[in-house]
Amino acid sequence: MERVVLAYSGGLDTTVMIPYLRERGFDVIAMAADVGQEEELEGIKEKALASGASKCYVVDCVEEFLTDFVWPTLRAGAVYEGRYYLGTAFARPVIAKHLVEVAKKEKASCVAHGATGKGNDQVRFELTVKALAPELKIVAPWREWEIRSRDEEMAYAEKRGLSVPPKESSYSRDRNIWHISHEGLELEDPASEPQERMWVLTENPQDAPEEPAYVEVEFEGGTPVGLDGERLKPVELLSRLNKLAGRHGVGRVDIVENRLVGMKSRGCYETPGGTVLHAAHADLESICLDRDTLHYKRLVAERYAELVYYGQWYCPLKEALDAFVDATQQTVSGVVRLKLYKGSCAPVGRSSPYSLYVEDLATFGADAVYNQKDAEGFINLFGLPIKVSALVRKRGGKRRD
């Protein structure tokens, strides 16, 4: 019997896939990666076995997820299409990495995933498998079976006595320690406002505290290492920040994004702590990086975000961009103070031992370091091409012999 390792989430898709794969003659081993789903993992092993899996691995990779996937993306400043903090995108390669490791341990010939043929996740899972274990075969039930909707999927599950979520609450969700995403139901109409009951990690900004909260985030080499003067490990740092920012309604976005497969998709995301960290990191870079590096890094950030979104975590270009990011982050150390208030997150102060901000140069008062007369020569040289073009146009484009 051929053995397959299934990336198992405990949700409707992957629960249905266990009997589907068994009926195709596979010995199914489930692999659930703990990336910070919290209560979603309760009873997941028992559920997988009850659905027909011969084994179920539950792998704790929360800290690895943050240190090896989230923090590098944060240091790059990568945000897809300016608003999506890549919460689902960079969770897929760490899950697929462990899927491959379990497949090798169990001597499986195949791996399987629950991603649909319409989405990005199929690409993210499969590119990671191809990069780490090109010899493994990939089974993607959504691209093979006759099921075409969640209703049909639920009917399939019920016929086989499998536990499924109530239909009325069946948003398609993905959660980890960084974020939670919401798709489906009323969100399929981009003109429809999300229902308040949908949100999980954040308070309604209207109901958030009337007094703002302040938080100080400390970075070393572009990596967050502490809050309010206390050094913290990655999981504790983000968990605390999630609770604080979520209580103040920070981190909600409602967007229509461009999927890799070519269609537009509407999704709502909650990224409370991550929103604060991105704001703080970008603000710290504003005083630690010189102008040219800062401007070029923003171009790199956009391309980096595309690579992560497209599932190209393990590709030569991303490896090269990582080297560039690492070089830029050597001096990005310091503290940023932020104000959280009714859904907003605003840096209000920043300091760094590597700050390029020189008060004696920037002051509006009397200064002894800057000679304002030097500006005239600079402007003359900087503006020389403009002046030459203007003179040529004034002469009607004729050259003077």
The C-alpha atoms of residue 305 and residue 89 are separated, in whole angstroms, by 9
Q: What is the pLDDT along the chain (401 residues), one digit of tens a residue?
A: 899 999 999 888 899 999 999 999 999 999 999 999 987 788 999 999 999 999 999 999 999 999 999 999 999 999 999 999 999 999 999 999 999 999 999 999 999 999 999 999 999 999 999 999 999 999 999 999 998 887 898 899 889 888 776 654 578 889 999 999 999 999 999 999 999 999 999 999 999 999 999 999 999 999 999 999 999 999 999 999 999 999 999 999 999 999 999 999 999 999 999 999 999 999 999 999 999 999 999 999 999 999 999 999 999 999 999 999 999 999 999 999 999 999 999 999 999 999 999 887 877 776 667 888 999 999 999 999 999 999 999 988 665 55
The Cβ-side half-sphere exposure at 195, using a 13 Å CA radius, reads: 11
| Adjacency order of strands within the sheet including 252-258 | 172-175, 180-183, 264-270, 252-258
- pTM value surpassing 0.85: yes
Residues in the chain: 401
And the tokens for 132?
Answer: 């780490």
Domain residue ranges of the chain, discontinuous segments joined by +: 3-76+85-170, 175-351
111 in Cβ contact with 129 (< 8 Å): yes
Specify whether domain 3-76+85-170 bears CATH 3.40.50.620.
Answer: yes
Identify the H or E element spanning 44. helix 44-50
For residues 251 and 242, give the distance between their C-alpha atoms in angstroms, rounded to a whole number.
Answer: 9
Q: Which residues are catalytic?
A: 13, 92, 121, 172
CATH number of 175-351: 3.90.550.10, 3.40.50.1820, 3.90.1260.10, 1.20.910.10?
A: 3.90.1260.10
CA 345 – CA 270 distance, rounded (Å): 14
